[in-house]
Structure 1
Amino acid sequence: MGGQSIVYLGEAPSGERMVVKTLHARTAAETEALQRFLRKSEIARSVAAFCKARVIDAGIAGGAAYLVSKYVRGPSLGKLVTREGPRTGGGRC
């Protein structure tokens, strides 16, 4: 989703940290970008839980597309790849 979205760190009523990803307003107006965001949200839901952060919810509210997932503490994937190189073992997930 890259430069087309904004990511926020939030907190659930239970106190658990969550990540909320939304499309930039300028991108959300593009039908194709919105469909791509929602399709990727569905794909993220289907990936095994041990391979990525668990998706809690996704959809559209107040005209804004969003994805909520569990927060996983650690470096960003971009920083990890820069520091250690591309990840391997994609067949495990």
Structure 2
Amino acid sequence: MHRRGVGAGTIAKKKLAKAKYKERGTVLAEDQLAQMSKQLDMFKTNLEEFASKHKQEIRKNPEFRVQFQDMCATIGVDPLASGKGFWSEIWQE
């Protein structure tokens, strides 16, 4: 009777398989990070376009402004945080 799954050869194969899984996991994690970064950039662009398109309404309509700020807060964007740049232009009167 032969016992399989025991011995130096089996241990080496398991180590190799483990290394391959780890490498594949790293590749997948890097791909996910790249995709998330791309989506975040696209979202930022779309949010800036929306704010620019509705700039006058955001400035003049307090109810709309509160809704816009609530939406931004929900997703973790603070358009009032920076004193310079795009968002400061939106809030200037």
Instruction: Assess same fold via TM > 0.5.
Output: no
Question: Normalising by structure 2, what TM-score?
Answer: 0.31
Structure of higher CA gyration radius: 2
TM-score, normalising length: structure 1 = 0.31
- Structure with greater proportional helix content: 2
Q: Which has the higher contact order (CA 8 A, sep 6+)?
A: 1
Structure with greater strand percent: 1
